[in-house]
Amino acid sequence: MRKYLIAAFLLAGFLIAGLTALGLSTSGGAGPGPHLSITTLAELKTPLPYPYAEGADAKAAVAEAFARAKDSGKRVLVDFGGNWCPDCRILAGVMELPEMKSFLSAHYEMVTVDVGMFDKNLDVVKSLGVEKLKGVPTVVIAEPDGRPLNVTNSAELSDARSMTPQGLADWLAKWAQPVS
């Protein structure tokens, strides 16, 4: 019996590795992100964007994104951060790349929310299932009905500067629904 279990685990591992090698996703997402024109963060256009409107009404902006999502059927990408944060600005720079920007607009209704120095719009953060910000950027992906999908790993991009541009693109793509 033990031999069969080991064989089953090995077969499953080979199957997952094979699907990954073929570029197919096992997570139900859209697959790998678009191939980016840059390979290092040093190639990003500078100055990096300041993506967060500090005086914006975050509740209204998030509500508008969900209203658009209900009409379009796309998921909502909520990017929580601050303009002081280098990782937030790096993520924004990658998201502004033409190939990434078109991918994101095809798959998501997007909204940015300024959290100040972890002291602003925290009620909006909690409304999407994140009890406490572990870092920024914190990116929450949600269904049009408001159900968040990635609350447990929403802070994975808070160290964006240690990732590659393609790694950031692939993370964002893994939560996207395939375009029908």
Helix, coil or strand: residue 113: strand
Query: Exposed, middle or buried: residue 120 (CB in 10 Å: 0-12, 13-18, 19+)?
Result: middle
Give per-residue pLDDT as tens, 20-67: 333 333 334 556 889 999 999 999 999 999 999 999 999 999 999 999
Helices (H), 51-175: 58-72, 86-95, 98-107, 122-127, 165-174
pLDDT, tens digit (0-9, with 9 covering 90-100), for 117-154: 999 999 999 999 999 999 999 999 999 999 999 998 88
CB contact at 8 A, 69 and 75: yes
The CB density around residue 31, as the number of other CB atoms within 10 Å, is 16
Closest alpha carbon to 175 in 44, 21, 27: 27
Predicted pLDDT of residue 30: 57
Name residue 31's amino acid. Answer: G
Query: Cβ atoms within 10 A of the Cβ of 116, count?
Result: 14
* CB proximity list for 52: less than 8 A, separation 6 or greater: 81, 82, 83, 88, 112, 113, 114
Is the torsion defined by CA of 88, 98, 148, 161 positive or negative?
negative
pTM over 0.75: yes
